Chains A and B, each alone.
Chain A
Amino acid sequence: MSTRINIGPVHPSTHGVLHLAVDIEGDTIKDVEPHIGFLHRGVEKLVETRMYMQSPPYMEKLDYVAPMSYDEAYVAAVEAALGVEVKERAQYVRVIELELQRIASHLFFLGALCNDMGQMFTMFMWVFEDRDRVLDLLQEATGQRMFYVNMRLGGVTMDLPPDFTDNCIAFLDHLDKRITEYEKYLEKNPVFIERTKGVGILSAEDAKALGVTGPTLRASGVPYDVRSAKPYYVYGKLGFNAVKLEKGDNFARYRVRILEMRESSRLVREALSKIPDGDALGAPIRLIGPAAKNRVVTVSRELPRGECMMYMVSDPQRPYRLSIRSPCFINLYALPHMARGQRLADLFSIMGSLDLVMACVDR
């Protein structure tokens, strides 16, 4: 006999408003049915009514944990449609800022994962201390702390400030130490290990069939990362290596994020040492800009949560149709598959390990 319990839409650990109808038998999950759409705002339709550069603020609200990555993906699609080249220094600046944003997002993930497994906000507070320093850096570089809107056609709004390199290197040194500390703290904790190892296993075949992306895919032994598969900006020059782990369980998904933070830290250092002099500023926003040259463009970007693909059909001055392939959307689709047969308590740790943002799921 199975019982149906309704988790959400208002629940402490659904990462937004998500409704899960869970069938349990005893303590074992028989089935999970996600009901989404509580944050659906129809952004894809909305941008059809706006000029190209009016839409980045909407894009940022899609993922409030790593807003700049979505902004950048959209602006990159517009640049591809308009045929705008990004200045070389601006490419470096964007890579530095995006990798810092990724670090901030993965730190958030660590805290949220521990919270979902029932910790009293300790990890959450610790990572927020570090995340705050990332936000300080981004504030220096863009003028904002949360919604940056700092991508312009061909460049960025502000060049890096003069003391940015020193501050950034100081932060990265601090971060590397902190990551080692977190690793020690979590991986030597037997309760954490037994809550994560062997829980929510997703095999490589299932991962590909269900279409999961990003860290979830790489934790299952499929080393697909857009940054290495289709290098954009200067990722090719910086020598980026995609992280890969085999197990596909919660622990692997946590590990992938730790390794990615280290890789991001290395990338930022590399980019800071190689950044050329010159101009990084983009074109100022004009309501009526240059007309689009390419009718249909497809741009893929590796966001902190996975691959985002912007498929844009363009009119001269505004998108005719924008279709966003959201990473959280398809990762959430894999949740029932991973949760079946697990314990009820593990549903939340699996959900935490997917790093969902509901605004990104519903768009």
Chain B
Amino acid sequence: MISYSIITTWQGWLSGSSILLYAVAIVLYAIAILILTSVFAYLFGWVERKIIAKIQHRHGPTYVGKYGIFQNLADLVKLLSKEHVTPDNSDPLLLSLGPVLLLAVITFMVLLLPFSPTLQATNLGLGLLLVFVLVAFLPLILFISGFATGNKFADISAQRSVLMLISYEIPLIVVVAAVALLSGSYSISGIVSAQASSHWYLLLMPIGFIVFFIVMLAEMERPPFDLREADSELIAGWLTDYSGPYYALALFIDYTRIFLASLLIALLFLGGWSGPVLPGIAWLLIKAFVIALFAIVVRATTVRMRIDRIMRLGWLWLLPLALINLILVYILFVV
């Protein structure tokens, strides 16, 4: 089932497939992916600040570096230089484990995603399912670290993350099922090549795309679904008692999450790496960036939803829409 695609691609260079070489290659690849994720997240953070500033008729960061491009770096240095305060009634291990685990899971998921036919760690036959199992894992980590701080606002935030988990996982899986049905494959590379041979799934199932986009915003805690860290209600939600380096990590994770979400959308609905002239990975990153820009505009312009309304939206609108999408896909394209 598992084909070691890095090995097969670099076979000539490696000249022989010993397990040690494979391990070295995969570690190098993982480091490369981590750097790519960080660079994307960093650029995204800067672009988000700039675009929101533009929408709000401000300038945004201008002082540090050209066009303020190093502002986030300066913020990072500031946060890293601060003390990490552990509240008395918190669980120190879980408290510090939360952001670290989140980053690990997100990077692992990005690692599982293919960037082009040749650039992927492994070509898992059930890669799609594994990715979404891990996506469902994210609110669980937030839940744990929310309770670990022993802060009441973080508790409420943790409860909210569970409520959101149960209202969003099902529409998500139903849309993913439609994608799998249409492409006849659970492998992400398979889905991309299926799109290359027909059309982008954005055109074939627009309802599914809209549902998926909304669900991804909710999963990745983007406004208007940022109830877990609702700053005007819960101060910072599960982040309320985080400080110093862990807070910096948590803020960084915010941007890596949007990278993951926009990569997934680009792969499943926008034809992945397919595109003329430019290399595949460039196309994928461009598409992901466009999706991320949408998320920025949504963030800048809408007010936050309420938890009961989100559940209503999930169960009364998104789930039926996802099911309709599934049925339409079945009737129109499969039968």
Q: Do A and B bind each other?
A: yes
Q: Using CB atoms and an 8 Å cutoff, list the residues of chain A in contact with chain B.
A: 3, 5-6, 11-13, 27, 114-122, 124-126, 129, 189, 191-192, 194-195, 343-346, 348
What are 12 A-B pairs with beta-carbon distances under 8 A?
A11-B235, A12-B231, A12-B232, A117-B303, A118-B303, A120-B52, A120-B223, A129-B57, A191-B305, A191-B309, A345-B233, A348-B232
User: Do B307 and A120 touch (CB < 8 A)?
Assistant: no
User: Do A122 and B304 touch (CB < 8 A)?
Assistant: no
What is the CA–CA distance of A305 and B233 in the complex, to the nearest angstrom? 23
What is the CA–CA distance of A12 and B239 in the complex, to the nearest angstrom? 14
User: Do B231 and A118 touch (CB < 8 A)?
Assistant: yes
Cβ of B308 within 8 Å of any chain A Cβ, yes or no, is yes
Contact residue among A3, A129, A189 (Cβ-Cβ distance under 8 Å from B303): A189
Contacts of A121 in B (CB 8 A): 56
Contact residue among A117, A125, A129 (Cβ-Cβ distance under 8 Å from B232): A117
What is the CA–CA distance of A241 and B152 in the complex, to the nearest angstrom? 47
Cβ of B300 within 8 Å of any chain A Cβ, yes or no, is yes
Contacts of B232 in A (CB 8 A): 12-13, 115-118, 348
User: Do B304 and A117 touch (CB < 8 A)?
Assistant: yes
Contact residue among B152, B156, B303, B308 (Cβ-Cβ distance under 8 Å from A119): B303
Cβ of B82 within 8 Å of any chain A Cβ, yes or no, is no
What is the CA–CA distance of A236 and B267 in the complex, to the nearest angstrom? 67
Number of interface residues of B (CB under 8 A): 28
Contacts of A191 in B (CB 8 A): 224, 302-305, 309
Question: A27 with B301: in contact, given A118-B231, A120-B223 (CB under 8 Å)?
Answer: no
Contacts of B305 in A (CB 8 A): 191, 194-195
Cβ of B153 within 8 Å of any chain A Cβ, yes or no, is yes
Contacts of A5 in B (CB 8 A): 152-153, 156
Chain B nearest Cβ from A186, distance in angstroms: 9
Cβ of B230 within 8 Å of any chain A Cβ, yes or no, is yes
What is the CA–CA distance of A254 and B224 in the complex, to the nearest angstrom? 20
Cβ of B74 within 8 Å of any chain A Cβ, yes or no, is no
Q: Using CB atoms and an 8 Å cutoff, list the residues of chain B in contact with chain A.
A: 52, 55-58, 152-153, 156, 223-224, 226-227, 230-233, 235, 299-309
Contact residue among B55, B223, B308, B309 (Cβ-Cβ distance under 8 Å from A118): B223
Chain B nearest Cβ from A114, distance in angstroms: 6
What is the CA–CA distance of A117 and B305 in the complex, to the nearest angstrom? 8
Task: Please give me the residue from chain B that is nearest to A112 by CB atom.
Answer: B232
Chain B nearest Cβ from A42, distance in angstroms: 31
Contacts of A125 in B (CB 8 A): 56-58
Chain A nearest Cβ from B237, distance in angstroms: 12
What is the CA–CA distance of A116 and B232 in the complex, to the nearest angstrom? 6
User: Do B302 and A119 touch (CB < 8 A)?
Assistant: yes
Most chain A beta carbons < 10 A, residue from B57, B156, B231, B304: B304
Most chain B beta carbons < 10 A, residue from A11, A115, A119, A343: A119
Contacts of A11 in B (CB 8 A): 235
Contacts of A126 in B (CB 8 A): 56-57
Contact residue among A6, A119, A129, A344 (Cβ-Cβ distance under 8 Å from B233): A344
What is the CA–CA distance of A114 and B268 in the complex, to the nearest angstrom? 35
Contact residue among A12, A116, A124, A192 (Cβ-Cβ distance under 8 Å from B235): A12
A117-B303, A192-B303 given; 12 more Cβ-contact pairs under 8 Å: A6-B152, A11-B235, A115-B232, A117-B304, A118-B231, A119-B302, A120-B223, A122-B55, A129-B57, A191-B224, A195-B306, A345-B304
What is the CA–CA distance of A5 and B151 in the complex, to the nearest angstrom? 10
User: Do B226 and A118 touch (CB < 8 A)?
Assistant: yes
What is the CA–CA distance of A3 and B305 in the complex, to the nearest angstrom? 23
What is the CA–CA distance of A13 and B308 in the complex, to the nearest angstrom? 21
Contact residue among A12, A116, A343 (Cβ-Cβ distance under 8 Å from B306): A343
Task: Please give me the residue from chain B that is nearest to A347 by CB atom.
Answer: B233
What is the CA–CA distance of A114 and B152 in the complex, to the nearest angstrom? 25
Contacts of A118 in B (CB 8 A): 223-224, 226, 230-233, 303-304
Contacts of B306 in A (CB 8 A): 194-195, 343, 345-346
Contacts of A115 in B (CB 8 A): 232
Contacts of B156 in A (CB 8 A): 5, 344
What is the CA–CA distance of A250 and B231 in the complex, to the nearest angstrom? 20
User: Do B152 and A3 touch (CB < 8 A)?
Assistant: yes
Task: Please give me the residue from chain B that is nearest to A193 by CB atom.
Answer: B303
Contacts of A129 in B (CB 8 A): 57
Task: Please give me the residue from chain B that is nearest to A117 by CB atom.
Answer: B303
What is the CA–CA distance of A156 and B152 in the complex, to the nearest angstrom? 52
Contacts of A348 in B (CB 8 A): 232-233
Closest 6 CB pairs of A and B: A118-B304, A125-B56, A13-B232, A117-B303, A119-B303, A345-B306
What is the CA–CA distance of A343 and B234 in the complex, to the nearest angstrom? 13
Contacts of B230 in A (CB 8 A): 118, 345
Task: Please give me the residue from chain B that is nearest to A4 by CB atom.
Answer: B152
What is the CA–CA distance of A12 and B230 in the complex, to the nearest angstrom? 10
User: Do B304 and A119 touch (CB < 8 A)?
Assistant: yes
Task: Please give me the residue from chain B that is nearest to A342 by CB atom.
Answer: B306
Chain B nearest Cβ from A141, distance in angstroms: 25
Contact residue among A116, A122, A343 (Cβ-Cβ distance under 8 Å from B307): A343
Task: Please give me the residue from chain A that is nearest to B230 by CB atom.
Answer: A118
What is the CA–CA distance of A345 and B308 in the complex, to the nearest angstrom? 10
User: Do B223 and A343 touch (CB < 8 A)?
Assistant: no
Task: Please give me the residue from chain A that is nearest to B304 by CB atom.
Answer: A118
Chain A nearest Cβ from B105, distance in angstroms: 26
Contacts of B226 in A (CB 8 A): 118
Task: Please give me the residue from chain A that is nearest to B153 by CB atom.
Answer: A5
